[in-house]
A = this chain, B = another copy of it.
């Protein structure tokens, strides 16, 4: 083994299984290790810390392994100084680029530490000159421009893993738990508490929702939550918005309306006719202004002046005029809404939940509700260790949530 580096990690290493993941990573990368020191907290709840010397075949392998370990909160004892290279082509990072995590990250340049402004996974780090001095931001591969100064390798970088206990003692259930059998009614109340707290702190509530919200009859509940101020921004696809509008345009009674299940989406002419109607109006907001769309989720968002970002997919009909058909532009539009988000609710959509999880900082707590356990589980290992998964029906979940949060829901 040619190259080695000594790293350290502090936290609830044994409770959380994080140490075993670190050692797995080292083996996966063909590296080796010696645990130099291990300080275990003697009392329950004391953090422990480890100092590990990591070896790899050559310097490049070592750098890549160190970058990998940083996703676990493992930092070099002597971080050194960040190395900066230059992008030689639009959309391409320089060789050996540092691949980011969504953890809080800081970079040392010329002896000074700079916080990364917008932590996001799987990006590069760009160093910018500004009147106020140096700034460091994540940059997605597709937004790289020739000449950008990009951090190379793992030197000069430190990341911090958020303490799972901080902020809230209700965070007993992390996404990593098996979320099958849980006291669901209690979980709903915990989510309601988080939402109230987020609002009280002046931070935004971000929702990500799939068409199942419409199909399970949860439109009234979500409309009530929008009206009561518990939805600041909605991320969704063409399907949720179209089904919602279709239900508003053509739904005559509950039975008929809700017989529109996902399975028959295509071939159902209501669906394409609703799309054409909104395309004719020019936008959802215009269709609301024209009095064409008079109810439903999108109507509530428009009339309460809430934000939404709709991003398309290859299976879309239409799509609605508001939908970003270019997915990279869609990601940019989503990023523009992330800034003040304090809590994220992901409802019955794997595609958009994963997309959102990719760009959310690890410090934002999230809850993922889906009847499919694998969707919930998939959010677990994305570095978002403040996530909570609830395997349940989104219809009943939102009904209960509206009953908790909206005083007059179903009383009027």
B-contacting residues of A (Cβ < 8 Å)? 13-17, 19-20, 23-24, 26-28, 30, 32-36, 38, 40-44, 50, 64, 67-68, 71, 89, 91-93, 97, 99, 101, 121-122, 140-142, 172, 178, 180-186, 188, 212, 215-218, 221, 237, 252, 254-256, 258-259, 261-264, 266-269, 271-273, 275-276, 279-280, 311-319, 321, 325-331, 334, 351-352, 354-355, 357-358, 371-374, 377-378, 380-383, 391-393, 395-397, 399-400, 403
Q: Which residues of B contact A273 (CB under 8 A)?
A: 64, 99
Task: Name which of A91, A181, A331 has the most chain B CB atoms within 10 A of its CB.
Answer: A181
Query: Which residue of B has the minimal Cβ distance to A123?
Result: B272
Given pairs A15-B23, A64-B273, A267-B381, 18 additional interface contacts (CB within 8 A): A15-B20, A91-B321, A141-B272, A180-B374, A181-B258, A182-B216, A183-B217, A184-B396, A185-B399, A186-B217, A186-B258, A313-B313, A313-B351, A314-B352, A316-B328, A326-B327, A351-B351, A393-B396
A119 to chain B, nearest CB (A): 12
Verify A185–B42 contact, CB threshold 8 A: no
B315 touches A354 (CB 8 A): yes
The interface residues of chain B lying within 8 Å CB-to-CB of A355 are: 313-315
List 22 interface pairs A-B (beta carbons < 8 Å), by A numbering.
Answer: A16-B20, A17-B17, A17-B20, A30-B252, A141-B272, A141-B275, A141-B276, A141-B318, A178-B261, A181-B258, A185-B221, A185-B396, A185-B399, A186-B258, A263-B377, A263-B378, A263-B380, A264-B381, A313-B355, A314-B331, A351-B351, A371-B393
This chain's copy number in the assembly: 4
Residue of chain B at shortest CB distance from A263: B381
Say yes or no: A216 contacts B19, CB within 8 Å: no
Contacts of A186 in B (CB 8 A): 217, 254, 258
Residue of B whose beta carbon sits closest to that of A257: B183
Bound state CA distance, A34 and B68, in angstroms? 33
Contacts of A383 in B (CB 8 A): 266-267
Query: CA of A263 to CA of B275 in the docked complex: distance in angstroms?
Result: 34
* Cα–Cα, bound, A276→B140 (Å): 11
Given contacts A314-B327, A371-B371, contact A266 B396 (CB under 8 A): no
